[in-house]
Amino acid sequence: MGANLQEMFKKLPQVSEILESEEILKAYEEYPESLIKDSVRESIEFFRNRILNKEEFDFYNKDVIDRAFELMDKNFSPSLKPVINATGVILHTNLGRSLLNEKVVDNLCKIAGNYSNLEYDLDEGKRGSRYVHAVELLKRITKAEDAVVVNNNASAVFLTLNTLAQNKEAIISRGELVEVGGSFRISSIMEKSGAKLVEVGSTNKTHMYDYEDNINEETALIMKVHTSNYSVVGFSESVSGDELRQLCDEKGIHLIEDLGSGSLIDLSKFGLSYERTVKDCINEGIDLVSFSGDKILGGPQAGIIVGKKELISKIKKNQLLRAFRVDKFTLGALEETLKFYLDEEKAIANIPTLKMISMPKEEILRKAEKLKSMIEKEVDLNMEIVESQSEVGGGAYPLDKLDSYSIAIKPDMKVSEFERSLRLSKDHIIGTVHDDTFFMDLRCIFEKDFERIVKVIKLNTILKKMPMWFNWILL
C-alpha cells in the first residue's frame, strides 16, 4: 500500500470522535440515537471502502459528518414520497393514480385529527354503520337503488361473486377474461370467490346463443367485464347489456358488470372515445355495477358497488365484507370528491383527474413555453418544445391519445445519467427517455412546481462540472 493511502487511513476518524462532534450532538434533537450511530458507522465505512479501492481524494471530518447526515435523512425519511409526474400519463398506477382536490385533502386532515362518526349514528345516539357514508351521493349520481364501498375494485368483484354465485355457475365471455396490472386476472378472482367459471364464445366474437346455450339450473349470473387496458377491434362482436338483461329476466338469473375505471360522466366531448358511464349501466338494467374510486372518478382507492337494493343488502351481510372494509380516510375523501359530481362543470373544473383530461392543448403549450423560458434563464441547455401524446392511464381508454406538448432535452451528459439525477433528486422528477432525449410532458405538471424543476435542472448542471466523487450528495 502506498504511503499516501496509509496517510488517508490515518485520517479516518473513530466512531466516538464523530459522535461527540457538535453537529452530531445536535442531531439527537431530530433523529433516533440508533439511527445516528448506524449512519456514522456507515459514513466512515463509505470512506474506508473508497480508500481500499485505491481512490486518492482528500477528505475531512466534516465530509464524514455530512455523509452521515445524508444517510440519516435518507433512512429516516418516508419511503412514500411525492413526485413530479412528467410522463404525460394521468392515471399512472406506479405514481399513485388520481390526485385529490385541495378541499378533499383539507377534509381528510379534519378526519385524521379528530374523532368521527365513522360507526356512530348521531341522530339515534347509538352504534351505526360505516357503510352509510357516501351512499346517498352515489345513489343520486348513478341513479342506483343502493351502494356499498369497499377497499378496492378487486374486492368489489370478489364480494359480488361470492355473495351471488358461490358454488354456482357464473357465465362470462372469453373476450372479457382480462388480465390487468400486477397479473390480476378476472378468471382467477372468479374462481377464488367460489363461483364456477363458465367461459362462452370466442376471444373476438360472443353471440347471444353462446349465453343461452350455457344457462342451466346451476347458473347464478352472467358477468360482463370492461376490457380495460386492451380492446378487441376488427372482426369482433359482443352482446350488449340491454340484450343480456332481457335474457337474464327470462331465465331468472342476475346480470352484473365490472366497469373497471367507472366513469361517472361522458368524456367523449374532450376527444376520448365514448364509453358507457355507471349511470348508463344502471339504465340498461344491470343488477350490480362495480368500479374503482381512484381512476376516472378521481377519488381515493376504493371499490364501489351500485345497483339493486336487495342485492346490496346481501353483500352487506357477507361475513367477508369485514376483510375488505373501507377506512375513514377513504370514505371522507370519496364523499368530498363525489360532491363535485352534483354539478358536472364543477367536477371537471375541480377534480384534478378530469381537469387534466379536459385541459386544452393551447393551455399545455403555454405551460411548456413558460417552463422552457424559466429554465433558459438559469441554464444553457439544448432543448425544444415538441408535440407529444398523453394517455389517460389506469387501464382506461387504452386506444386513445390526448394531444399534448413536451419539453425535449438533449443533455451534455448521457441521457440515462440525466434522467437518473432528476429521478433521484429531492423533488423526484419522473419523465421519459426516447432516442437519447429526455421528455417532460406538461399535461400533468403543475405551475407551482416549475421553480422546483428549474432548481433541480440547474443543480444537475452544476454537479456535472464537479468531480465524480461529489455526486453522492444526490442520493
**Structural domains in the chain, sorted by start:** 3-76 (no CATH), 84-93+356-474 (3.90.1150.180), 102-350 (3.40.640.10)
- pLDDT at 400 exceeding the cut of 80: yes
Q: What is the DSSP letter of 22?
A: H
CA Rg, the chain, in Å?
Answer: 28
Q: Taking Cα atoms as reference points, which of 341, 331, 229, 335 lies closest to residue 278? A: 341
Question: Are β-strands 437-441 and 89-91 bridged in parallel, bridged antiparallel, or unpaired?
Answer: unpaired
Q: How far is CA 346 from CA 99, 231, 361, 363, in A?
A: 16, 31, 20, 19
Query: What CA–CA distance (Å, rounded) separates 342 from 344?
Result: 6
Q: ∠141-172-278 over CA atoms, to 5°?
A: 10
pLDDT classification of 57: cutoffs 50, 70, 90: confident
Question: What local confidence, expressed as pLDDT, does residue 473 receive?
Answer: 46
Q: What's the whole-number average pLDDT of the chain?
A: 92
Interval 314-336: pLDDT, tens = 999 999 999 999 999 999 999 99
pLDDT classification of 472: cutoffs 50, 70, 90: very low
Cell of 475: 442520493
Q: Taking Cα atoms as reference points, which of 359, 389, 386, 384 lies closest to residue 373? A: 384
Query: What CA–CA distance (Å, rounded) separates 258 from 183?
Result: 17
The mean per-residue pLDDT over the stretch 12-32 comes to 93
Query: What CA–CA distance (Å, rounded) separates 147 from 14?
Result: 64
